[in-house]
């Protein structure tokens, strides 16, 4: 019997199938890269099928035609393997797929040229069929390895399903190609038949975003085969039983068959229903009662007012019936500019808590707002529209490692998302399970709204308590400052009255001596010196008051190159006699390590002089004062003024830089400028801060507290830029970054 008509028929049939698939892609508008690659693959497939068919039609074609077609089969098979590997690399989003395509098709072109040359100029000097077969094996193994690695590397169910789908498709097309390379003679035409099934699956995968669940399809096949086998076994049993009973009983065979059929049918229907339920549980994966689970869940969340508890309840309900290992509640809130912020509330597993902000024009935001349907991570990764979302948005969702996001709506508005990770089985969520989860998410809407309101009330209550505490602190601060201003009036009047009294007394003495004509030159010198001393003191007090008034209107600064060592030397000089009289030791270090700076020397001398004066006043006789300098960074340096004095209370460490504020009781006030705990108008530290901040620096004090017996001391920190500037300090204190 001649077999060539069958080979021709199969070749024409499989060629038509591939041609239809080719035309479907050819006339598709707006083809993407993967569709273009699939189109090229189907084009090679048509040439390959034609070569396979012609190679076995020696009966109707000349040998030169059939031999040439047979010689082209290995080359075209290599082209198919190269094309499919390129398609797979593109489908799996490998960035090197252009390299694979270039290398593979270049090698195919070399094989084609060599084959054509040796067809024209025989004999062939190279085993081109073996070279072609080896090349096909290499490319085919590359395809299988790439898909297998992606299958085991993928953690998301839909990505694993995609890899499994393409792996099965690859097995079909590669098996079809392999059959044409084997020495099967006319049976090689079976290869295009197998390849046609794989080509149909290829087109299905290219044109459809959602791929069928491979495991579910396999279970459907198992269900059909299992039920078919049970039914066939029962029917065979009826026939065999009828044959045996006919030989024993005298009842007509027809009647016996009818009786047996009725009896088997009565038992088969319940058995069939039980089998269907059993197989459906395996097929759909729903081994629980969704309605009862939803009723129990609705009753449980009706009294939940805490967001974390609500998240745990929702996710654990799902985890108990679906064995999900990750889950969270994403709370949605809109910003003033229209973006949507998703704040994760972890419920199961290690979940990042960083908020995810979706821009107003984000396709993810549009998708969530306009469609009341679950969002899958697979869509976020591969959907042509959703892939246009900002990388940070997609990275934020990817970091959660979730499989599905179910919208939770309250009064028609998106209130949040129920985010669930992959099932332990590794399969995509089946439609019935998605329907169950969507219903559960809808039931969560009211509870989520109540929990958010409760959380808002808790936050508001906490803010009110915080505001009350801030008001109490502010009130105490204002009370202390008000008391300080009252004290200032008393101190200032005393500070002004004392030198005026001295001036008046000495002028009266001078006048009496002049009238009695007993005034000598020595008396004039002594009296004028005594008048000059309180005048200078009065001048300093008035200047301090004027400088303090400039703190609000703005001090004037004249920045010029100067040295820190010169500034400190000028600030210490007026206090040398006082230091010697009080037996205080003042040391400096690190001043020469600070290079030339640009600052207002006169103002900085004033600021550091006030700090030294403060250290002198509150350090007992015989104590130590230390001034140290050190670089901080390329722009700033630090100067510390430390003493072994009585320290400063924690409550006073911020207030001492306020105008008029001074520590200690007003009853202990002394008009001495440098006596221990001697008082002043309370302006020195506020002026120092104004000068330091006017240079773009900052100042603060550190002290363990106030203790006249232990004398813990105080350290004033001054940070200044090398080049003074207007504006806030650019250096941040440790622990205050940001």
Query: Can you tell me the distance from the alpha carbon of 28 to that of 183, in angstroms, rounded to the nearest whole number?
Result: 38
For residue 112, the SS3 value is helix
Q: Please name the helix (run of DSSP H) or strand (run of DSSP E) that holds residue 609, with its range, or none.
A: helix 601-617
Residue 64 burial (10 A CB sphere; 0-12, 13-18, 19+): exposed
Name the pLDDT band for 681 (thresholds 50, 70, 90): low
pLDDT at 716: 94
Average pLDDT over residues 652-667: 66
Name the pLDDT band for 701 (thresholds 50, 70, 90): very high
Q: Could you tell me if 454 and 301 are in contact, meaning their C-beta atoms sit under 8 angstroms apart?
A: no
Size (the chain), residues: 738
The residues facing 700 across adjacent strands are 717
Average pLDDT over residues 376-394: 89
- Tokens standing for residue 435: 């329907």
Q: Could you tell me if 298 and 442 are in contact, meaning their C-beta atoms sit under 8 angstroms apart?
A: no
Average pLDDT over residues 365-391: 88
219-228: pLDDT as tens digits: 778 878 888 8
For residue 143, the SS3 value is helix
CATH fold of 555-721 reads: Heat Shock Protein 90 (3.30.565)
Residue of higher predicted confidence among 556 and 497: 556
Considering only CA atoms, which of 682, 607, 613 is closest in space to residue 643?
613
Query: Can you tell me the distance from the alpha carbon of 587 to that of 568, in angstroms, rounded to the nearest whole number?
Result: 11
Q: Could you tell me if 44 and 76 are in contact, meaning their C-beta atoms sit under 8 angstroms apart?
A: yes
CB neighbourhood size of 729 (10 A): 18
Residue of higher predicted confidence among 441 and 660: 441
Average pLDDT over residues 271-294: 70
720: left (phi over 0), alpha (psi -120 to 50) or beta: beta
Average pLDDT, the chain: 83
pLDDT score of 110 more than 70 = yes
Query: Can you tell me the distance from the alpha carbon of 641 to that of 588, in angstroms, rounded to the nearest whole number?
Result: 9
Radius of gyration of the chain (CA): 47
Query: Can you tell me the distance from the alpha carbon of 331 to that of 347, in angstroms, rounded to the nearest whole number?
Result: 13
490-532: pLDDT as tens digits: 556 666 667 777 778 878 777 777 777 777 777 778 888 878 7
pLDDT at 219: 75
In the β-sheet with 698-702, what is the strand arrangement from edge to edge?
A: 585-589, 624-631, 636-643, 714-721, 698-702
Q: Could you tell me if 695 and 721 are in contact, meaning their C-beta atoms sit under 8 angstroms apart?
A: yes
Considering only CA atoms, which of 427, 433, 434 is closest in space to residue 154?
427
pLDDT score of 671 more than 50 = no
Helix axes 190-207, 157-181, angle to 10 degrees: 150
pLDDT at 736: 59
Per-residue b/e over 677-700, b at no fewer than 16 CB within 10 Å?
A: bbbbbbbbbbbbbbbbbbbbbbbe
pLDDT score of 729 more than 70 = yes
Whether a cis peptide bond, with omega within 30° of 0, leads into 123 is: yes
Q: Which of 278-287, 369-378, 456-465, 605-614 has the lowest mean pLDDT?
A: 278-287
Residue 536 burial (10 A CB sphere; 0-12, 13-18, 19+): exposed
For residue 711, the SS3 value is coil
| β-pairing verdict for 327-334 and 340-348 | antiparallel
CATH fold of 290-458 reads: Beta-Lactamase (3.30.450)
- Tokens standing for residue 380: 């976020």
Considering only CA atoms, which of 563, 559, 608, 549 is closest in space to residue 726?
559
**Torsions phi, psi of 330, nearest 5?**
-100, 115
Taking CA 674 as the corner, what is the angle to CA 508 and CA 486, rounded to the nearest 5 degrees?
80
Query: Can you tell me the distance from the alpha carbon of 441 to that of 436, in angstroms, rounded to the nearest whole number?
Result: 9
129-182: pLDDT as tens digits: 889 889 999 999 999 999 999 888 877 888 888 888 999 999 999 999 998 888
Q: Please name the helix (run of DSSP H) or strand (run of DSSP E) that holds residue 405, with its range, or none.
A: strand 404-410
Q: Could you tell me if 191 and 176 are in contact, meaning their C-beta atoms sit under 8 angstroms apart?
A: yes
pLDDT at 284: 53
193-205: pLDDT as tens digits: 999 999 999 998 8
pLDDT score of 281 more than 70 = no
Residue 341 burial (10 A CB sphere; 0-12, 13-18, 19+): middle
Q: DSSP assignment, residue 30?
A: S
pLDDT at 262: 78
Query: Can you tell me the distance from the alpha carbon of 719 to that of 138, in angstroms, rounded to the nearest whole number?
Result: 69
Q: DSSP assignment, residue 185?
A: G
- Measured in whole angstroms, the distance separating CA 232 from the mean position of its chain's CA atoms is 58
pLDDT at 58: 66
Domain ranges in the chain? 4-212, 217-277, 290-458, 555-721
pLDDT score of 551 more than 70 = no
Q: Could you tell me if 315 and 420 are in contact, meaning their C-beta atoms sit under 8 angstroms apart?
A: yes
Name the pLDDT band for 378 (thresholds 50, 70, 90): confident
pLDDT at 449: 80
Cβ neighbors of 301 (< 8 A, separation 6 or more) are 310, 313, 314, 443, 444, 447
pLDDT score of 602 more than 70 = yes
Tell me the C-alpha to C-alpha distance, in Å, between residue 385 and each of 183, 365, 389, 733. Answer: 48, 12, 8, 47
**pTM assigned to the model:** 0.58
Name the pLDDT band for 738 (thresholds 50, 70, 90): very low
Query: Can you tell me the distance from the alpha carbon of 123 to that of 125, in angstroms, rounded to the nearest whole number?
Result: 6
- Measured in whole angstroms, the distance separating CA 578 from the mean position of its chain's CA atoms is 62
When the candidates are 1.10.150, 1.20.1070, 3.40.50, 1.10.3470, the CATH number that belongs to 4-212 is 1.20.1070
- Tokens standing for residue 234: 């029962």
- Tokens standing for residue 9: 């028929």
Tell me the C-alpha to C-alpha distance, in Å, between residue 737 and each of 387, 702, 703, 729, 731. Answer: 36, 18, 22, 12, 9
- Tokens standing for residue 67: 């031999």
Query: Can you tell me the distance from the alpha carbon of 389 to that of 714, in angstroms, rounded to the nearest whole number?
Result: 56
DSSP string, 278-343: HHHHHHH---S-HHHHHHHHHHHHTT---HHHHHHHHHHHHHHHH-B--EEEEEEEE-TTS-EEEE
The residues facing 695 across adjacent strands are none
């Amino acid at each position: 019997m001649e077999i060539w008509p069958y080979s021709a028929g199969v070749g024409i049939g499989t060629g038509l199938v591939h041609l239809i698939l080719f035309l479907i892609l050819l006339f598709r508008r707006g083809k993407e890269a993967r569709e273009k690659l699939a189109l090229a693959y189907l084009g090679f497939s048509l040439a390959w099928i034609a070569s396979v068919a012609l190679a076995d039609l020696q009966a109707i074609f000349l040998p030169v035609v059939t031999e040439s077609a047979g010689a082209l089969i290995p080359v075209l098979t290599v082209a198919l393997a190269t094309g499919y590997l390129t398609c797979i690399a593109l489908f799996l989003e490998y960035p090197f797929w252009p390299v694979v395509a270039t290398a593979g098709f270049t090698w195919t072109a070399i094989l084609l040229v060599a084959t054509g040359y040796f067809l024209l100029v025989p004999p062939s000097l190279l085993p081109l069929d073996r070279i072609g077969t080896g090349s096909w094996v290499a490319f085919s193994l590359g395809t299988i390895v790439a898909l297998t690695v992606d299958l085991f590397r993928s953690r998301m169910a839909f990505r694993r399903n995609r890899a499994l789908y393409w792996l099965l498709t690859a097995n079909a097309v590669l098996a079809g190609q392999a059959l044409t390379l084997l020495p099967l003679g006319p049976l090689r035409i079976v290869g295009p038949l197998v390849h046609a099934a794989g080509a149909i699956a290829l087109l299905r995968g290219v044109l459809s975003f959602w791929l069928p669940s491979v495991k579910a399809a396999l279970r459907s096949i198992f269900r059909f085969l299992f039920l078919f086998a049970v039914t066939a076994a029962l029917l065979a049993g009826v026939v065999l039983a009828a044959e045996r009973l006919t030989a024993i009983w005298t009842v007509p065979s027809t009647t016996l068959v009818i009786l047996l059929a009725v009896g088997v049918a009565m038992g088969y229907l319940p058995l069939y229903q039980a089998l269907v339920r059993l197989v459906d549980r395996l097929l759909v994966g729903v081994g629980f009662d969704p309605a009862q689970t939803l009723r129990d869940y609705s009753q449980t969340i009706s009294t939940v007012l805490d967001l974390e508890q609500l998240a745990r309840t929702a996710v654990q309900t799902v985890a108990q019936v679906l064995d999900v290992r990750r889950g969270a509640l994403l709370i949605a809130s809109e910003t003033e500019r229209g973006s949507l912020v998703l704040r994760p509330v972890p419920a199961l597993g290690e979940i990042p808590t960083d908020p995810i902000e979706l821009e107003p024009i984000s396709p993810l935001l549009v998708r969530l707002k306009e469609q009341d349907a679950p969002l899958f991570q697979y869509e976020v990764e591969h959907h042509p529209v959703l892939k246009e979302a900002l990388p940070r948005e997609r990275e934020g969702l990817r970091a959660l490692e979730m499989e599905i996001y179910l919208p939770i709506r309250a009064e028609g508005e998106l209130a949040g998302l129920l985010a669930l990770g992959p099932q332990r089985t590794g399969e995509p969520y089946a439609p019935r399970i998605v329907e169950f989860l969507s219903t559960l998410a809808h039931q969560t809407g009211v509870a989520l709204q109540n929990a958010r309101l409760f959380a808002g009330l808790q936050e508001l209550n906490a803010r009110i308590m915080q505001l009350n505490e801030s008001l109490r602190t502010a009130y105490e601060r204002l009370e202390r400052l008000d008391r300080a201003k009252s004290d200032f009036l008393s101190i200032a009047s005393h500070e002004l009255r004392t030198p005026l009294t001295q001036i008046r007394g000495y002028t009266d003495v001078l006048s009496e001596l002049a009238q009695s004509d007993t005034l000598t030159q020595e008396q004039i010198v002594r009296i004028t010196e005594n008048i000059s001393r309180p005048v200078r003191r009065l001048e300093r007090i008035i200047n301090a008051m004027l400088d303090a008034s400039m703190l609000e209107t703005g001090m004037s600064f004249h920045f010029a190159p100067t040295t820190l060592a010169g500034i400190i030397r000028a600030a210490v000089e007026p206090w040398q006699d006082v230091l010697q009289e009080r037996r205080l030791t003042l040391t400096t270090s690190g001043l020469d390590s600070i290079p030339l700076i640009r600052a207002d020397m006169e103002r900085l001398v004033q600021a550091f002089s006030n700090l030294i004066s403060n250290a002198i006043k509150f350090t007992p006789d015989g104590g130590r004062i230390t001034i140290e300098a050190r670089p901080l960074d390329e722009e700033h340096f630090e100067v510390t003024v430390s003493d072994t004095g009585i320290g400063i209370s924690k409550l006073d460490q911020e207030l001492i830089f306020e105008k008029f504020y001074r520590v200690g009781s007003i009853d202990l006030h002394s008009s001495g400028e440098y006596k221990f705990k001697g008082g002043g108008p309370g302006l020195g530290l506020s002026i120092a801060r104004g000068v330091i901040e006017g240079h773009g620096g900052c100042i603060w004090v550190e002290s363990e507290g106030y203790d006249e017996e232990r004398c813990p001391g105080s350290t004033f920190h001054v940070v200044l830029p090398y080049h003074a500037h207007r504006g806030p300090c650019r250096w941040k204190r440790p622990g205050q970054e940001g």
